[in-house]
Amino acid sequence: MSEGVSEGVNGGVSEVTRAEYCVIACAEAWRGAGEILASPMGLIPSVGARLARHTFAPDLLLTDGEALLVGPDGTVEGWLPYRQHLALVTGGRRHVMMGASQIDRYGNQNIACIGDWAKPLRQLLGVRGAPVNTLNNPTSYWVPRHSRRVFVERVDMVCGVGYDRAAGARHHRVPRVVSDLGVFDFATPDHAMRLASVHPGVSVEQVREATGFDLVIPDEVPLTREPTAGELRLIREVIDPHGTRAREVAV
């Protein structure tokens, strides 16, 4: 599979980078979301959320991470006090895209430690808001470096709650996982992780080898969709003109 190309804004042909495919894959997490709060954590998810707001998700609410609602260009649009933020979180009116130091086949996520909790080999961020996020509003994940160290058979500690542990949680949903290799969902009978698409330049076998558990792999795996010329212009000229997206995915 070769890297994709899109028609450039001036009619030429422009190569689409892996980072830009990742931006598109993250943006698609909020397609059709309506008027909910987007909480992207990380550079590429943030570019993706702003792209979605600029294009196919105009009702999406974006925040500065503190107390303001902002437009895709940073213009202040409103005030979001913390109590109202919590009401959105616990009522299913937010879709957060978090990171994952480990994630397993059912979407259990770990950002707290590597190794046994009593004597960890490495201390990470801590549990933070992951349980509240995953049990109370849709939660997707962004993994910039897909490997067997991240996609594991069993997470060392459950921070974000997966499908096998979320019985009775009314708003629990893990719409997608995006990595630098592809897009994954849980659209299977037992909610085991499925390979939904691969980014151009990535093979199914490459994804399989980089994953520490048996993925559900359909007979036909599509390519992650290419950005349109308009989306490329927004990414490159409006949202991220300095190309900072390449810091997370340099391919």
The per-residue pLDDT for range 171-217, each reduced to its tens digit, is 899 999 999 999 999 999 999 999 999 999 999 999 999 999 999 99
Total domain count for the chain? 1
Q: Which residue has the higher pLDDT, 171 or 162?
A: 162
> Over 80: is that where the pLDDT of 231 sits?
yes
Distance of CA 84 to the CA centre of its chain: 24
Helix locations, 55-210, DSSP H: 82-90, 130-136, 204-209
Q: What pLDDT score was predicted for residue 9?
A: 43
Contact 44, 19 (CB under 8 A): yes
Domain that includes residue 215, residue range: 5-247
The per-residue pLDDT for range 6-50, each reduced to its tens digit, is 444 444 446 999 999 999 999 999 998 899 889 999 999 999 999
Mean pLDDT of the chain: 90
The CB-side HSE value for 208 (13 A sphere, CA atoms) comes to 8
| Residue 84, domain CATH | 3.40.1080.10
Q: Model pTM?
A: 0.90
CB-CB neighbours of 34 under 10 Å: 10
Span 85-102, average pLDDT = 86
> Over 80: is that where the pLDDT of 89 sits?
no
Helix locations, 58-140, DSSP H: 82-90, 130-136
> Over 50: is that where the pLDDT of 118 sits?
yes
Q: What pLDDT score was predicted for residue 48?
A: 97
Band of residue 77 on the pLDDT scale cut at 50, 70, 90:
confident
Spatial distance between the Cα atoms of 99 and 109, rounded to a whole number of angstroms:
9
Span 82-103, average pLDDT = 86
Q: pLDDT > 70: what percent of the chain?
A: 94
HEC sequence for 2-31: CCCEEECCCCCEEECCHHHHHHHHHHHHHC
Band of residue 148 on the pLDDT scale cut at 50, 70, 90:
very high
Q: What pLDDT score was predicted for residue 11?
A: 44
Q: What pLDDT score was predicted for residue 4?
A: 58
- The DSSP output letter for 71 is -
Span 114-133, average pLDDT = 88
Span 226-236, average pLDDT = 97
Q: What pLDDT score was predicted for residue 184?
A: 98
Q: What pLDDT score was predicted for residue 49?
A: 95
